[in-house]
Amino acid sequence: MSPAESNDPAKKAIWEIESTNPDIVTPVETALREVIDPEIGLNVIELGLVRNVALKDNGEKAHVTMIMTTPFCPYAPALLEMTRSKAEEATGKPASIEMGMELWDLSYMEEGAGAEWGLF
């Protein structure tokens, strides 16, 4: 299942790079899978936290939009910075990150990701 897919089509993330730069989707997804939420033990892709990845300024900069599982996540600053850094590494371009205001719910998770938690 692609990182932009969800069990609920209404909750599907839109990664702009899927249509503009499909060649970097896999390297970005692979890199972002290394960013683990220390409280939950799942990565930001499995959790569905990365809502968009785009190239801006004529493809010169990467930009990631990400949400947290809870509004007051104590690990938010570290997760945001790790995600930004991994996006920069994977794209080879300076990267910025934005914390989206969308509320996360379980349907954002990849299929089977919540099995160990008894969620699916």
The owner of tokens 């990701």 is 113
Share in percent of the chain as helix, strand, coil (round to 5): 35, 15, 50
The pTM for the full model equals 0.86
Considering its fold, how many domains does the chain have in total?
1
- Specify if 35 maps to a domain: yes
Say if strands 50-56 and 95-99 run parallel, antiparallel, or are unpaired. Answer: unpaired
Amino acid at 95: A
**Is residue 109 one of the residues assigned to a domain?**
no
> Rounded to the nearest 5 degrees, what angle is found at the Cα of 88, between the Cα atoms of 55 and 42?
105
Domain containing 41 equals 9-99
Instruction: CATH number of the domain at 62, please.
Output: 3.30.300.130
User: Is 113 contained in some domain?
Assistant: no
- The answer to whether residue 116 sits within a structural domain is no
- Could you list the pLDDT tens digit for every one of the 120 residues in the chain? 445 554 555 567 889 999 999 999 999 999 999 999 999 999 999 999 999 999 999 999 999 999 999 988 999 999 999 999 999 999 999 999 999 999 999 889 888 776 666 655
Residue 1 lies in a domain: no
Q: Is 119 inside any structural domain? A: no
